[in-house]
Amino acid sequence: MSISSFLTKKFLKSLFFPAHNRGAALPKKLVKLLKNPPGYWDLPELPELGSPLSQNGLIAKSQKEFSEKFKTKGCFFGVNGASGLIQSAVIAMANPGETLLMPRNVHVSVIKTCAMQNILPIFFDLESSSETGHYKPLTKTWLESVFKKINFNEKKIAGVIFVSPSYQGYASDLEPLINLCHQKKLPVLVDEAHGSYFLFCEKLNLPKSALLSNADLVVHSLHKSLNGLTQTAALWYKGNLVNEHNLIRSINLLQTTSPSSLLLSSCEESIRDWLNKKNLSKYQERILEAKSIYKRLIQKNIPLIETQDPLKIVVNTSKVGIDGFTADNFFYKNGLIAELPEMMTLTFCLGFANQKDFIILFEKLWNELLLNSKRLKSLEVLKSPFELVQAPEIEIGIAWRSKTRTIPFSQSLNKISGDIICPYPPGIPLLVPGEKIDADRFNWIKNQSLCNKDLVNFNIRVL
Ligand SMILES: Cc1ncc(COP(=O)(O)O)c(C=O)c1O
């Protein structure tokens, strides 16, 4: 089967990214554009259009309009996902050899940039749930205890990265965290890939957007948390702690010379759509609907985990002795496609289309799953093996470029990794170049490989 034939494959229900739900929630103006003769709209950087880094043209004009609307200093559209813009933001914050402070649940795009540029990560651990293995949201008290472990006079930190919300929808109260960093004059990048829509929904009791919480740099994945096409993203910046010239240079460094006009139009329309009052109330209805889906499933005794993002339905499959990967396979075979299987849970992304019929379909398949699956007596997540504050044994860029050999992971105990070990989704590295595979880390990764096929009998490059 060709790729193009597969792209029109029908599923009963697609609860994965992109959040426009296979076109159902695309902005009307984008749908109209796509109704033109195929490919007609695929234009180069004509002067009237420009590019995300042009001073003039329609792209510059809408970026400026959005930037003014949200009182930021700048907004840039991106066509290589949140990943691409996060990478530019990281390069703008730190030079090779400088240090960035980041949580253990940082996205792999940050680690790749650190490896490429030899920007030195210092990781801080997060509290995690023994029930699900999920990282819990970072709190001010936790961050204070992290800061206490760091001697800021000895160790120059170039900036801090936060991830909020997480893939499953756990979100922090960002403002106190950002204030704490700003007291130390540290710029903050918030990876808000999963929370773009928070920016438009101040009244729905959702987490406050990073952009309204004084973050210096914020990256949104418009296909994950607004209704953009895959790869669309936006970067916003504020304040005086990040050098504008560095930021623009860093975007330029990584951006293609031929950004897709379709994707740029999708960036614009997905943001503009939410600024339109009538559309906004339609989306707000969807969010309320998502909250009621959660409540009704709970009433039906489905073991759900509550997070701060109503668009994520996180099922705690371990409660019934089934791991998330087995549940995912079952639902997939039956046409209900989820987004994120993990050892203890399975996460569905409702997206922005009407999903009322999800409840009936889910309940029916859930009952079949319970009848037909072998139940495991004990599913257990191991406590994370990390110290509260920890840096790789060897500088990441040096380890990445070192001579390495490939061995089975089972033989890697006490070796230094030259690899990034990172199942996707969720794209959170379990091990980065330069880190030692000590007994705790070894057992923790082995424990995860019980269910995740990406981690079964895998090889690793070690120094
Ligand atoms: C927390 C987080 N940040 C960033 C990204 C990258 O987003 P994109 O797929 O738009 O590049 C992801 C993707 O999974 C993510 O989960």
User: Which domains are present in the chain?
Assistant: 28-275 (3.40.640.10), 392-462 (3.90.105.10)
Closest CA to 192 of 85, 319, 294, 314: 85
CB of 283 closer than 6 A to ligand 1?
A: no
Q: Which atom of ligand 1 is nearest to the CA of 223?
A: 10
Q: What are the tokens at 164?
A: 């909020």
Q: What is the pLDDT of residue 224?
A: 98
How confident is the chain (463 residues) per 10-residue block, as mean pLDDT? 95 96 97 98 97 97 98 98 98 98 98 98 97 97 98 94 98 98 98 98 92 98 98 98 97 97 98 96 96 97 98 97 95 98 97 94 97 83 94 98 97 97 93 98 88 84 98
Residue 102 beta carbon below 6 angstroms from any ligand 1 atom = no
User: Which is the closest atom of ligand 1 to the Cα of 221?
Assistant: 10
User: Ligand 1 pocket, 233 CB below 6 A?
Assistant: yes
Residue 185 near residue 214, CB atoms below 8 Å: no
Predicted local confidence at residue 191, as pLDDT? 98
**Is the Cβ atom of 83 under 6 angstroms away from ligand 1?**
yes
For 309, the token pair is: 């993002």
Q: What is the pLDDT of residue 375?
A: 83
- d(CA 223, CA 227) in angstroms, rounded, equals 6
| C-alpha count within 13 angstroms, C-beta hemisphere, residue 425 | 20
Q: What is the pTM of this model?
A: 0.98
| Whole-number Å distance between alpha carbons of 343 and 380 | 9
Q: Is 7 exposed, middle or buried (0-12, 13-18, 19+ CB in 10 A)?
A: exposed
- Cα-to-centroid distance, 196 and ligand 1 (Å): 12
Give the distance (Å) from ligand 1 centre to CA of residue 374.
33
190, two tokens: 């918030």
* H or E stretch at 290: helix 277-299
pLDDT at site 240: 96
Give the number of C-alpha atoms closer than 13 A to the C-alpha of residue 85, restricted to the C-beta side: 27
CA of 87 to the centre of ligand 1 (A): 11
* Pairwise CA distance, residues 14 & 18, whole Å: 10
Is the shortest distance between the CB of 429 and ligand 1 below 6 Å?
A: no
Kindly provide the residue ranges of all beta strands, DSSP E only, lying in 238-370, ordered along the sequence. 304-305, 312-315, 336-337, 340-341, 346-349
- DSSP letter string, 73-129: SEEEEESSHHHHHHHHHHHHH--TT-EEEEETT--HHHHHHHHHHT-EEEEE---B-
Q: Which residue has the tokens 């709190």?
A: 139
Residues 6 or more apart in contact with residue 53 via CB below 8 angstroms: 76, 248, 251, 252, 255
Q: Which of 83, 162, 220, 225 to mutate to test the pocket of ligand 1 (most atoms within 8 A of CB)?
A: 83
d(CA 55, CA 64): 10
Residue 23: per-residue pLDDT: 97
* Pocket of ligand 1 contains residue 193 by CB under 6 Å: yes
Please give the structure tokens belonging to residue 86.
């996060």
Instruction: Report helix, strand or coil for 396.
Output: helix
Nearest CA to ligand 1 atom 16: 167
Distance in Å, CA 462 to ligand 1 centroid: 27
Which residue from 16, 107, 309 has its CB within 8 A of the most atoms of ligand 1, so it is best to mutate? 107
pLDDT of residue 69: 97
Could you tell me the end-to-end alpha-carbon distance of the chain, in angstroms, rounded to an integer?
Answer: 41
Q: Which amino acid is at 279?
A: N
DSSP annotation string for 181-221: HHHTT--EEEE-TT-GGGGG-GGGTPPPPGGGTT-SEEEEE
The rounded distance, in Å, linking the Cα atoms of 52 and 81 is: 14
- Ramachandran sector of residue 239 (left: φ over 0; alpha: ψ -120 to 50; beta: rest): left
**Phi, psi at 313, each rounded to 5°:** -105, 110
441 Cβ below 6 A of ligand 1? no
Q: What are phi and psi of 146, to 5 degrees?
A: -65, -45
Element (H, E) at 274: helix 261-275
State whether the beta carbon of 422 lies less than 6 angstroms from ligand 1: no
